[in-house]
Amino acid sequence: MMTDVVLHIYDVTNSGSEKTNNTVLQINRIFKDRIGLGGIFHSAVQVYGDDEWSFGFCEEGTGVFSCPSGKNPMYTYRESIVLGKTNCSIFKVNQILRELSREWPGHAYDLLSKNCNHFCDEFCERLGVPKLPGWVNRFANAGDAAAEIAETTALRLRQAKTEIVSASKVAYRFLVGVTSGANGATPDSPGGSNRGSPRFQATWFKSLITDGAKPSSSSGIDNQGDNVNQQQRQQGVSLTRPLRQNSQDSERQYDRRHDM
């Protein structure tokens, strides 16, 4: 014996605030009635008898419950849709409901990923009839997808941060190795200079701030150049004296030859 499976749909107006409830009704009228996109809805499934079955939050026990079809006092009734006919017997339907009662505890309720519409989808699948129309749960599905994307993005950002930190550590170890190698070079080798050492750089920086010194050892070269120039000047003076003496000796010899 086959029987109809009926979906009952409500506008969610159980916020306790008249303003919020009116806002929900307005959203559903615009996005469902005018655009056909979806809205904020509660749903329940009726099969055999006058009761409908749905799912909601509770702290303990199952979240599966029933009430007279189309008369849930928590919401505003909107419409009903016949989803198809099921081949399941009453006994089979009761068995399915017992299984769902164990699998859907009230504390597991989640507005985006495990709500009343998800329960009705599961119930209809086990009854062998089509699932709910897409617009009934579209907002929740979109919110769940957005949350998943946000979580994936956050995970990727954490992974990128980890990679950046790892690369920085590798670069730091490399630089430390280079510095250590430079400091450990022999004094006679070009790498033996301490100009790249942190101590030299700190000293040079302090000197640069105080008296404008340059990061070069040219000052030592300039001092050496000054010493050489001074020595050359001294040598030049001592060399000009023998030349003058030779000139005077030549003049004396010339005069003597003429006197003779």
- The number of beta carbons lying within 10 Å of the beta carbon of residue 160 is 10
Tokens at 240, concatenated: 């000009």
The active-site residue out of 42, 88, 118, 124 is: 42
* Separation of alpha carbons 94 and 121, rounded Å: 17
116 belongs to the catalytic site: yes
- The number of beta carbons lying within 10 Å of the beta carbon of residue 119 is 23
CB within 8 A of 115, min separation 6: which ones?
A: 55, 109, 137, 140
The active-site residue out of 8, 58, 107, 116 is: 116
Length of the chain: 260
Are the beta carbons of 123 and 43 closer than 8 angstroms? no
- The number of beta carbons lying within 10 Å of the beta carbon of residue 242 is 9
* Separation of alpha carbons 145 and 135, rounded Å: 15
Judged on CB neighbours under 10 Å (0-12, 13-18, 19+), 139 is: buried
CB within 8 A of 101, min separation 6: which ones?
A: 62, 64
118 belongs to the catalytic site: no
CA distances to 1, 112, 168, 169 from 175, in Å: 81, 50, 11, 10
* Separation of alpha carbons 247 and 180, rounded Å: 65
Q: What is the DSSP letter of 33?
A: I
Known catalytic residues are 42, 116
